Amino acid sequence: MSEQKYGLASRILKGSAMLLFSQGATMVLYFLAQRVILSALTKEANGVLFGERRFVDFVVIMLVDFGMNGITMRRMIMQPDRAQVILSSTVAYRLMMFVPASLLSLGYAYAVGYSLVDVALWCFFLLISTRSGLIRYTYEMPFRSKVRFGWVAFLSILDAVLFLGMVWWWRDHLSPTVVIQAFVLSTIPGLIFMIAYDRGRTIHPRFMEMGEVKTLLRESMPVILAMVFIHVHDKMDAMFLQWFADAKEVGIYGAAYVSLAPLTNTIPLAASMAIIPVLARLAKENWAECQRYAVTGFRFLVVIALLSSTMLSVLTPYVIELVSKGVYADNHLHFFLFMWMPVPIFILVYVQELTIALGHQKSNIPIAGVLAAVTVVGGLLAIPTWHALGAVWVKLASVGLGAVVAVMLFRRILGTGITLQFVASIVVVLLVGILTSVWLPRVMMLPLAAAVAGVLTLAAAMLTGLLRTSDVRLIRSILRTRT
């Protein structure tokens, strides 16, 4: 490959590095904030906080997002001359749908006895937070589509710094309401900056077209159906726990869930957001290159997930101590199982973003259908008896089966790269990771066990061909290339 051809790879790698750095920094900051929150709130209070947020997430993101982000990004790339119309129409739709979504959330809160103030504030947070992918994310799309992540990265870190500072400042007075207030206040400066930077040049009511809104809705229909299934999968476990167990069980499940959320919400999204805009362009200009980059990115992401899960599962006692000061020490198995969810979740996130970028959004429906079906059926069978632990097992089973379907669809869409040997290599490395994470902590100290388990897992990835020596040479060549 010539130096010129390395330019695109270098751009992707540098964009991924920037996002991974910012997401890694925010992951650490939110991790520290969660430590303060989980150590200050009782399990029951944490259950209330988790329950309030989950239903609002389900309603607001489903109705206001409507699966438009991937569609908007692809239309911007394909029609750059209409970027103002596309972005402004996306914002207009989301503002219109925010009111009924918020009213529905408030109605549910009133019916079940949740705080109306908490729910209203969380609705507003979802609207303005980049993490939810609504208004502020739309303002960031011009940067993301060109793989320019400087300001996006800086503002995401700023959000996390402000949130950690507020949580620490109010640590002696934390309650679900105070935590939600900190989320909202930490996000406002970033939104103000993005609006001021844009100054109406890209997003403004005068650019909005109802015809474009209808086009976005029509192209998003397959995505929204998949989103409904995904949100059923992601939120119904918490709702089943609210119905069949007490607030303490919800709090245990919520603590394990949020301890993993910084990891699963950062690395796969960072990697995907760096490479997806490039793949969308290559799909139109050079299909062979699109296939190559897509498969290579997939392999790297799977290896990262396997290494992360292996080492974190060994360090589960430290994770519990870090996030809760030992409050959840008697819930080791809940946290250990959650540490293995990055492997299927990384696969799911990458494949779903890829299918939308390539215009195959309908392919996400079977993936989401499996996730929802396993969650609902498994939840009804397991949660009434085993409560939080049952919910964890059901979550792991649903994302595992969903990842299997995602790999099959990935192979069908790309038509290359995913062979039986490739799938077998993932399974072998996964088994090595699980066995080492269970056995090594019994015979050596946890930090050493984590290091050894990571080395053995990486060696297994190299020996099975999941990670190739040519990949390492490629990365070294890219790093030496001037874009």
**CA pair distance 82, 337, nearest whole angstrom:** 46
What was the pLDDT predicted at 477? Answer: 54
DSSP code at position 174: -
What was the pLDDT predicted at 480? Answer: 52
What was the pLDDT predicted at 10? Answer: 56
pLDDT band at 1; cut points 50, 70, 90: very low
**Is residue 476 scored above 50 in pLDDT?**
yes
**CA pair distance 126, 187, nearest whole angstrom:** 10
pLDDT band at 374; cut points 50, 70, 90: very high
**Is residue 433 scored above 60 in pLDDT?**
yes
pLDDT band at 273; cut points 50, 70, 90: low
Helices (H), ranges, 174-286: 176-198, 210-244, 247-264, 267-285
Residues sharing a CB contact under 8 Å with residue 148, sequence separation 6 or more, in sequence order: 15
Q: What are the pLDDT digits (tens) for 78-105?
A: 788 888 898 899 889 888 889 999 999 9
Q: What are the pLDDT digits (tens) for 109-131?
A: 888 888 899 999 999 998 888 77
**CA pair distance 379, 397, nearest whole angstrom:** 11
Residues sharing a CB contact under 8 Å with residue 342, sequence separation 6 or more, in sequence order: 260, 263, 264, 267, 268, 305, 308, 309, 312
What was the pLDDT predicted at 296? Answer: 81
**CA pair distance 227, 234, nearest whole angstrom:** 10
| Helices vs. strands in the chain: H and E counts, helices first | 19, 0
**Is residue 175 scored above 80 in pLDDT?**
yes
Average pLDDT, the chain: 83
**CA pair distance 260, 343, nearest whole angstrom:** 12
> Can you tell me the mean pLDDT for 325-335?
87
What was the pLDDT predicted at 163? Answer: 94
> Can you tell me the mean pLDDT for 403-417?
84
| Ramachandran angles phi, psi of 66, nearest 5° | 60, 25
* Higher-scoring residue by pLDDT: 189, 10: 189
Tokens of 140: 């960031």
pLDDT band at 63; cut points 50, 70, 90: confident
pLDDT band at 11; cut points 50, 70, 90: low
**CA pair distance 371, 360, nearest whole angstrom:** 19
**Is residue 5 scored above 60 in pLDDT?**
no
Lowest model confidence (mean pLDDT) among 3-7, 38-42, 232-236, 250-254? 3-7
- Nearest 5°: the CA angle 211, 217, 222 is 145
**Is residue 15 scored above 70 in pLDDT?**
no
**CA pair distance 383, 421, nearest whole angstrom:** 37
**CA pair distance 212, 267, nearest whole angstrom:** 32
Closest Cα partner for 131 from 88, 163, 107? 163
Run of H or E including 154:
helix 150-169
What was the pLDDT predicted at 403? Answer: 93
Is 0.85 surpassed by the pTM of this model?
Answer: no
Lowest model confidence (mean pLDDT) among 1-5, 239-243, 394-398, 435-439? 1-5
pLDDT band at 482; cut points 50, 70, 90: very low
What was the pLDDT predicted at 102? Answer: 92
% of the chain surpassing 90 pLDDT: 28
